[in-house]
Structure 1
Amino acid sequence: MHSIKAFVVACAALFAAPAMAQDNHCDRACLGDLVTQYVDAMMAHDPSALPLAEDAEYTEGGRALPMGEGAWQSLTARGTFRHDYLDTTRQVAAAHVDFFEGETPVLISVALHVDDGEISGIETIVHRATPDSPFQPAVLDQPVRGMDAPVPEGMRQSREDMVDIAYRYAEGLRLGNFIDARVPFAPEAYRVENGVITAGEGCRFTPCDPARQRIMVHPGLIPSVVAVDEENGTVLLWMNFGFTDSYGPGNALVTMEAFKIWGGSIHSINAFFDFLPIGRGRGWPSEDPVPRLY
């Protein structure tokens, strides 16, 4: 009798373990709520309001800082712009969000790394659009066209295919030519960078067709996957553009750039970037490895 009872208890524990793990797995609603909590905590200048793991780490522009320092201390107002990229597979809640420090727009890319329902790390890039910034945000009063639109029925792609297309874009930047990199832009492809339309309808450059635009060669570009929102059809890449001697002495352009991908094409792109030391790495490993492109 005792052996039968012990067997039943053991079986119950065995079947209960996956259920408990499932309870600690953040679904889309949970991940989106963590982004909201992060925004609220930033405005309250109080990271303790977040469900942080005991050893949670914080980086700003690839540099490790104590939790609560950096932009945590200086923000004065919340803007209206926010796009979420929710990776339920890798448990990453990422977003582009705008804030202010006085009159200065502050564009923050954030990735919350989640383990067992707690935030184990906060990865950010913070750009202050000071009056001398080359890009002055002009269209952050509205969402990026198409970025949050539902993926049309039957047009959703696998995680692997979405990542492949996003990496083709990175390869186009490296080569200085999106055509040779076989980047599949949709006819209505639209790109916003730091709040400025740089491709598609309403862009400030010519030509506005992203496939035909002249691009600087970035031979040292390093890409890395931050998050893949498989339901919403978005891939968020971290990219250090490497040495080009064009972003200030010793600096490289570093971005978190999101791609809306469905039906085999890129439809919308949104990037928040900053200028950081060339050797500044991401500091967070990607579970979606970079392919050998050359």
Structure 2
Amino acid sequence: MPTVVRNHQPNPHTPNNGGPSSDTSDSNCSGSRQCMTNMVTKILDSMVAHNPNVLPLAPIYRATENSHPASLGMMTTWRTITRAGPPSLLAVDTTNGTAYFALDINEGNSDIQNVLRGRVKVVGQNITELELFINRFRGDHGFSFSSQELPANYKDLMNPPANRTKPSRADLEAISAALFANSSNPASNTTVNVADDCQFTEIGWRVVDTGTYGNASSAPLGCIWPADHPTDPNARINLVIDEEMGFVITSGIVPGKVFPYANITESAFIPDAMTAAQEAQVAWMNELAGTVPMLEPTGATGDTLELLQFYNGELQAMQINVYLSGPGMTSPWLS
């Protein structure tokens, strides 16, 4: 891990390293898995050093933190993170020059770990896009969260069997296009087969559905390729297609509501497309009305970066990574 740097502020007079990088070992980072991996390391190291000025930014770049745009020097990420890296999950698209990374991080003097997720696009050796999210607890995501379990769970995804049958790029692109489409089936009109041991996680945690009344099984849920699912006609598909590891990263905007959950101290984000689940929560609330304090159901929008892993002709992992904003929100990446 990078050395922990505390109470260090960047020099405002340090010149930005935008423009061509001085490292000429790889003139086109988009064609090199190692170069993209090194770029992610540079980003994480700069966060720990509280100095975004060391990064090779393009003359014009796009960047967001928790769905809102800002220059890197104005982001919380470069002010608070004191320990980060290496990534627990790294997906690299050498065709598009993009990468997705996820890991637990520490902020300030706290031993509490939070979760950092990010997507970067590189042209030549310059960063042209950087999309970051920090989830600090379950309320940011609206359901499940575990920074402590994240490294072990993501390790499984980063160590697929050596003798696996790797998917084609066309196969992964078809799955990406189907994820938030009206039809959940790929262009081939065949359903996606799901492996028996497919890992289903949300922000580091293997999902356990405690049920409306808290009496469901405590066993982790498996993956389902659903016929009914949230849709987004403006979904950003093929953000990262990692043919080597079988990873797909797709982004969609999901409207829904935050409801009180089985334990009255908890709440959960339920997409509007999941009408049966919302109706079950309303029925549960009506039963308890007036007996306990409960959160009023409130509209929200889930900015989703969903990760799938596919090889051996089957879905091997599904990660639903969400950051919640207010109702009616959209993605600045659509502008």
What TM-score results when the alignment is normalised by the length of structure 1? 0.74
Q: In structure 2, how many angstroms separate the alpha carbons of the residues matched to 1:40 and 1:107? A: 16
Number of aligned residue pairs = 257
Paired residue type of 2:28: H
Unmatched segments (≥5 aa) in structure 1: 1-20, 286-294
Asked whether 1:208 is paired with 2:216, we answer no
Q: 2:56 aligns with which of 51, 58, 63?
A: 51
Query: What is the match of residue 14 of structure 1?
Result: none
Alignment of 1:94-243 (within 5 A): 94-101=100-107, 102-129=110-137, 134-137=143-146, 138-144=148-154, 146-150=156-160, 152-153=162-163, 155-171=165-181, 182-198=191-207, 208-211=221-224, 217-220=229-232, 223-224=235-236, 225-241=238-254, 243=255
More displaced 10-residue stretch of structure 1: 73-82 or 85-94: 73-82
- Once the two structures are TM-superposed, the CA of residue 208 in structure 1 deviates from its matched residue by 2.5
Paired residue type of 2:300: N
Q: 1:257 aligns with which of 306, 323, 327?
A: 306
Paired residue type of 2:98: V
Contact kept, 8 Å, 1:80 with 1:140, in 2: the verdict is no
Q: 2:330 aligns with which of 274, 277, 280?
A: 280
Q: In structure 1, how many angstroms separate the alpha carbons of the residues matched to 2:242 and 2:184? A: 27
What TM-score results when the alignment is normalised by the length of structure 2? 0.65
Paired residue type of 2:331: G
Unmatched segments (≥5 aa) in structure 2: 1-23, 209-215, 259-268, 270-296
Paired residue type of 2:251: W
Asked whether 1:60 is paired with 2:70, we answer no
- Once the two structures are TM-superposed, the CA of residue 28 in structure 1 deviates from its matched residue by 0.4
Mark the CA change 1:54 to 1:169 in structure 2 (over 3 Å): closer, same or farther: closer
- Once the two structures are TM-superposed, the CA of residue 264 in structure 1 deviates from its matched residue by 2.0
Q: In structure 1, how many angstroms separate the alpha carbons of the residues matched to 2:331 and 2:190? A: 24
Mark the CA change 1:151 to 1:232 in structure 2 (over 3 Å): closer, same or farther: farther
Mark the CA change 1:231 to 1:163 in structure 2 (over 3 Å): closer, same or farther: same
Identity %: 21
Q: 2:83 aligns with which of 73, 77, 80?
A: 77
Paired residue type of 2:239: V
- Once the two structures are TM-superposed, the CA of residue 151 in structure 1 deviates from its matched residue by 5.8
More displaced 10-residue stretch of structure 1: 180-189 or 95-104: 180-189
Q: In structure 2, how many angstroms separate the alpha carbons of the residues matched to 1:116 and 1:284? A: 23
Task: Report Cα offsets for 1:141-179 as digits up to 9, x if no partner.
Answer: 4242531124654611211211222444445xx7899xx
Contact kept, 8 Å, 1:168 with 1:182, in 2: the verdict is no
